[in-house]
A and B are shown apart, each in its own frame.
Chain A
């Protein structure tokens, strides 16, 4: 069974541009989480989608947004890119909300975003 897949693997943008990152969860998982892993800062929670709805948002500016599609895949958009947005963006998925309480998260291998 396929795991969580993310694309692209690497993305290079310049300041002010927009970046779009994609995530496909494990089959049967309806919850998708996005985390930012900047150098030396650990993982910071960005967004959580479940059943197509945004359920929770981390302490990030509105430039960071996303959506979840009917097939539960998800997109993370970062507008007006800044140099400090350079980071590894990890996506994770889990079983539906009502069961996610005790379920594990399964992570993808991330998209490395570099802003020049």
Chain B
């Protein structure tokens, strides 16, 4: 079974600064997807960024980028120019890309609560 570990329960950053959230995962599969989701106080999970394991290039979405190290099974999220609206719980998630059917579920880490200080 796959596991996702977020070792930082809480992080804080000053507005306009850069912060990196850590995520490691364990899998025996070679093909999979990795995600970062944001959960603000509204509780709705919002997809921040997605990485396909077969792609070596790190994904970027505006101020958000990832550092994907497949051999190390590491998938960190970097938020540049942090804004007050970035304050939220961030979840790292894994989904298998092998076969179909039962593999569509997401496996989540326990989350990192990010505080942005003005």
Contacts and interface: CB of A to CB of B under 8 A. Distances in A.
A58 B108 CA distance: 13
Contact of B108 (A42, A101, A104, A109): A42
Contacts of B100: 97-98, 101
Contacts, number: 61
A105 B19 CA distance: 26
Contacts of B42: 109
B105 A45 contact: yes
Interface in A20-59: 31, 33, 35, 40-45, 48, 55-56, 58
Nearest to B44: A109
A90 interface: yes
Interface string A91-105: 010100110110011
Contacts of A108: 44
Nearest to A43: B108
Interface string B23-58: 000000000000001000011111100100000000
Interface residues of B, number: 22
Interface in B89-112: 91, 93, 97, 100-102, 104-111
Contacts of B104: 31, 33, 48, 55-56, 94, 97, 100-101
A98 to B, nearest CB: 8
Interface of B: 37, 42-47, 50, 91, 93, 97, 100-102, 104-111
